[in-house]
Amino acid sequence: MFSNLLIYFVVIPLLMLAGFAICKNVRQVRAVAVVGSILLMGLSAWVLCDYLTERAAGATAEMLMRADYTWFAPLNIKLSVGVDGISIAMLILSSIIVFAGSFASWKIDDARHFFMWLILLSTGVYGFFISIDLFTMFMFYEVALIPMYLLIGVWGTGRKEYSAMKLTLMLMGGSAFLMLSLIGIYFHSAPEGQPLTWNILEIARNVEETQCISKGWQYFLFPMCFVGFGVLGAMFPFHTWSPDGHACAPTAVSMLHAGVLMKLGGYGCFRVAMYLMPQAANDLAWIFLILTGISVVYGAFSACVQTDLKYINAYSSVSHCGMVLFAILMINTTALTGAIMQMLSHGLMTALFFALIGMIYGRTHTRDIRLMGGLMKILPFLGVGYVIAGMASLGLPGLSGFVAEMTIFVGSFEHTDMFHRVFTIVACCSIVITAVYILRTVGKLLFGPVFDPHHAELTDASWWERLSTITLIVSVAAIGCFPNFFESLIRFTFSPEIFRAIGLN
């Protein structure tokens, strides 16, 4: 059972949970959190190396490190694990953000319970990315959602109960659709007379070979599945949990939520909705393309007039995550690669943003940009970090946002018809709007004279805050400077099957 490397992505967090249970004081809790998250980072690096070695040695299977553990034989539910480049990218992203998040919540109240829920959440996230069985995937998805309610409801700020409730209910609503469509997929997962399966790879093969999910069923199931995951990916008009939820969440939760959890949506849209129902995806993409195209500019325009730092960033996430779904719907290798890059990039930079916002809020006790100003002089480290995050967000070359967006644009432009062209150009326009709201925020928050004389006595970042910030900045810069490594890691995984099935490429 424990010979497979991937299973440790679930085992380590569970051990950490046990560790928290026996911790006696905050120091021990921190120690467990730090050791655990370092182990997880190391594990994801190890998995990456293993994966690359295997690929270099000529492994051509779609997923590597496969293993199956039967759970419930009558319904053929298994814990099936396996990774390809995309999941590895997501695992690396998650482990970095969990690491940074642990440091960002160094001084949280009631650290033990906070970390317990946080790590439970991350268990769900890791489990989701490693599993290729629809049932276990869905289970881990739910495991990742529920702790969010408590984390926001208990440790949040502002109208936390309302926001926690709203967030949870909307996401639950999404998962209701999702479950329906997953069950629908299950009952069509194999041609007549053969045993049904939850395994994504088998379903995909069956769909390709025998068309076991008929076109009619695909038309019915695809929208439900896409919307179900799309809610988590903050697709217009199901995004409103995001601003309120993020605004009330504690720092580390915002980081994890925007950084990783929203990626579950994009990942699911790709891995389940597009992958298993390619024909419907091809035929119905235009509906969602309109919605996501709206998301991209709509989020950006909304962010321009917000005054709360977290709201600005939440709307910016709507815009950027809209770009992810937008690119996924373009259904070609370049755009899909761009979508995954954008997930990585957005995850890291938005986590950086939320970390910095949390640190600033912890000092000034306000997030209203009208009540702050000139913080660069007082908090130079946080200020510089914020500017770098902003630059990454508006797509400065050398940081991660640029490579992701450019890949998406180049990929989207491959479609020659007017409809796709127009939406690509609309999406391109967001780079200008992004510049507007980022520079507006940076200008008001960091530059200019010091607004509030009380702020003059604030102290700059402490070592754990620095560590958290620097980790994220280095990751953002690494993607931005050496994109080809990630690009090839992701690209290799795009099996031609999905495109063959819909007659593209």
Partner 1 sequence: MEPVIPIIILALPLAMFLVLGLCGHKMAHRTAGILGTLGMGVTMVLAYITAFTYFFSGAPEFINAEGVRLQYVVFNPEWLSFYKDLAIKIGFLLDPISALLLVVITTISFMVHLYSNGYMRDHHGVWETGFQRFYAFLSLFSFSMLGLVVATNIFQMYIFWELVGASSYLLIGFYYTKPSAVSASKKAFIVTRFADLGFLIGILILSFYTGTFEFTDFTSVNVGKDTFAIDMSAPTAILAKFTSSPAPMFLGGSVLTWALVLIFMGGMGKSAMMPLHIWLPDAMEGPTPVSALIHAATMVVAGVYLVARLFPLYLMEETALNIITVVGALTAFYAAMVACTQVDIKRVLAFSTISQIAFMMVSLGVARPEFHHGLGYMAGMFHLFTHAMFKALLFLCAGALIHAIGSNDYTAMHGLRKYMPITHISFLIGCLAIAGIIPFAGFFSKDEILTAVFGHSIFWYIWMSAVAGLTAFYMFRLYYLIFWWKEHKIPEGHHAPHDQPWTMTLPLVILAIVSCVAGFVPFGNLVTWNGHPMFESVNFFTNLTALDWSVAAISLSVAVIAILIATVMYKKENPLPDKMKNALPRLWDWCYHRFYWDELYMFITHKIIFGCICKPIAWFDRHIIDGTMDGFAWVTQRLSFAIRGLQSGNIQFYVWVYLFGVVLLGAITAICLL
First-to-last alpha carbon distance for the chain, in angstroms, is 40
Residue 329 interacts with partner 1 (CB under 8 A)?
no
Part in contact with partner 1 (CB under 8 A); list of ranges 81-89, 113-121, 204-212, 431-439? 431-439
Part in contact with partner 1 (CB under 8 A); list of ranges 62-70, 231-239, 265-273, 356-364? 231-239
Part in contact with partner 1 (CB under 8 A); list of ranges 21-29, 94-102, 398-406, 452-460? 398-406
Looking at residues 362 to 381 of the shown chain, list those that interact with partner 1 (rule: CB under 8 A): 374, 376-377
Contacts of 42 (CB under 8 A, 6+ apart): none
Q: Are 67 and 7 in contact (CB under 8 A)?
A: yes
Beta bridge partners of 72: 77
Residue 159 interacts with partner 1 (CB under 8 A)?
no
Q: Tokens at residue 456, please?
A: 């003059």
Q: How far is the CB of 284 from partner 1 (least distance, A)?
A: 22
Nearer to partner 1, 60 or 416 (CB): 416
Q: How far is the CB of 153 from partner 1 (least distance, A)?
A: 16
Q: Are 177 and 227 in contact (CB under 8 A)?
A: yes
Residue 451 interacts with partner 1 (CB under 8 A)?
no
Residue in 196, 435, 458, 478 binding partner 1, rule: CB under 8 A: 435
Size of the site for partner 1 (CB under 8 A): 56
Nearer to partner 1, 36 or 374 (CB): 374
Contacts of 422 (CB under 8 A, 6+ apart): none
Cα angle: 334, vertex 335, 341; to 5 degrees: 90
Residue 228 interacts with partner 1 (CB under 8 A)?
no
Residue 306 interacts with partner 1 (CB under 8 A)?
yes
Residue in 48, 67, 146, 396 binding partner 1, rule: CB under 8 A: 396
Residue 403 interacts with partner 1 (CB under 8 A)?
yes
Identify the three-state secondary structure at position 157. coil
Contacts of 390 (CB under 8 A, 6+ apart): 438, 439, 441, 442
Residue in 28, 211, 240, 495 binding partner 1, rule: CB under 8 A: 240
Part in contact with partner 1 (CB under 8 A); list of ranges 183-191, 246-254, 349-357, 428-436? 428-436
Residue in 76, 87, 302, 471 binding partner 1, rule: CB under 8 A: 302
- The Cα–Cα gap between 303 and 316 comes to 6
Identify the three-state secondary structure at position 83. strand
Q: How far is the CB of 303 from partner 1 (least distance, A)?
A: 9
Residue 483 interacts with partner 1 (CB under 8 A)?
yes
Nearer to partner 1, 58 or 237 (CB): 237
Nearer to partner 1, 118 or 231 (CB): 231
Residue 395 interacts with partner 1 (CB under 8 A)?
yes
Q: Tokens at residue 398, please?
A: 């050398």
Part in contact with partner 1 (CB under 8 A); list of ranges 70-78, 181-189, 194-202, 445-453? 445-453
Part in contact with partner 1 (CB under 8 A); list of ranges 47-55, 232-240, 245-253, 455-463? 232-240
Part in contact with partner 1 (CB under 8 A); list of ranges 13-21, 209-217, 255-263, 484-492? 484-492
Residue in 62, 142, 414, 497 binding partner 1, rule: CB under 8 A: 414
- The Cα–Cα gap between 338 and 445 comes to 31
Contacts of 138 (CB under 8 A, 6+ apart): 175, 178, 179, 182
Nearer to partner 1, 31 or 474 (CB): 474
Cα–Cα distances (Å) from 453 to 234, 365, 457, in that order, read 38, 14, 8
Nearer to partner 1, 211 or 240 (CB): 240
Looking at residues 84 to 123 of the shown chain, list those that interact with partner 1 (rule: CB under 8 A): none
Q: How far is the CB of 435 from partner 1 (least distance, A)?
A: 4
Three-state secondary structure readout of 15-39: HHHHHHHHCCCHHHHHHHHHHHHHH
User: Torsions phi, psi of 408, nearest 5?
Assistant: -65, -45
- The Cα–Cα gap between 124 and 147 comes to 10
Longest dimension (CA), the chain: 76
Residue 391 interacts with partner 1 (CB under 8 A)?
yes
> DSSP string spanning 201-261?
HHHHHHHHHH--S-HHHHHHHHHHHHHHHHHHTT-TTS-THHHHHHHHS-HHHHHHIIIII
Nearer to partner 1, 69 or 482 (CB): 482
- The Cα–Cα gap between 337 and 322 comes to 15
Part in contact with partner 1 (CB under 8 A); list of ranges 48-56, 257-265, 275-283, 424-432? 424-432
**Exposure string (b/e) for 64-103, b if CB count within 10 Å is 16 or more?**
bbbbeeebeeeebbbbbbbbbbbbbbbbbbbbbbbbbbbb
> What ranges make up the beta strands (E) of 413-503?
none
Q: How far is the CB of 37 from partner 1 (least distance, A)?
A: 26
Residue 169 interacts with partner 1 (CB under 8 A)?
yes
Interacting residue ranges for partner 1, rule: CB under 8 A: 166, 169-170, 236-237, 239-241, 244, 298, 301-302, 304-306, 332-334, 374, 376-377, 391, 394-398, 402-403, 406-407, 409-411, 413-414, 416, 424-425, 428-429, 431-432, 435-436, 439-440, 443, 446-449, 483-484, 487-488
